[in-house]
Structure 1
């Protein structure tokens, strides 16, 4: 089983920081980055494999296709059996936090910047 980590975020600084932190805790180097939900969705629509494992860090506020639009579309392509999404956002909107409970793919709502302890927990949980 191949493991994939996706960072879907339009903020290049946030993406660089998350990617560096993942590398610092010795997560494998196969980290894909996308600037918006549309690009990530198009990739998954073509390349998604049911036998692989996917961990996705998803921002909510992005151009072209925001996190909510991505979730609405991608739920028809991927499965919660092999895909876990962490909403990683600067939004502190309570409605956003509550809305995440409507998506079985979402494991957790995390405010930016992500704490290294959480990344270590994710690494251990999924044996990355």
Structure 2
């Protein structure tokens, strides 16, 4: 297993980690299989979405704030219940196919680490799953 370090700068932020994952695949000479991307944080997530137009990330972030507001009918004492809910909605993992040593993503797709309780130093675990 490999670990990517992700530094976030905002309370809610989507960090494009595609190039770091791609570099990891190439550095390890992983050819055919898949990489499992796993976020070990209860207030973070990992997702795949459009990376060509930055307004998509902005729209996701802004509208998640509307769907699950920072202040709401929450009882969790730490004051970050919204972050836990958003993390559960997005999910903690993604599986990406690797073929011929490269990530198999759609034309506009990028991999994002989703921060919902930052800024923080985060980890993204990457596990190589070779084809048999």
The one of the two structures with greater contact order (alpha-carbon pairs below 8 A, sep at least 6) is 2
TM-score (norm 1): 0.27
User: Normalized per residue, which structure has more strand?
Assistant: 2
User: Normalized per residue, which structure has more helix?
Assistant: 1
Larger Rg: 2
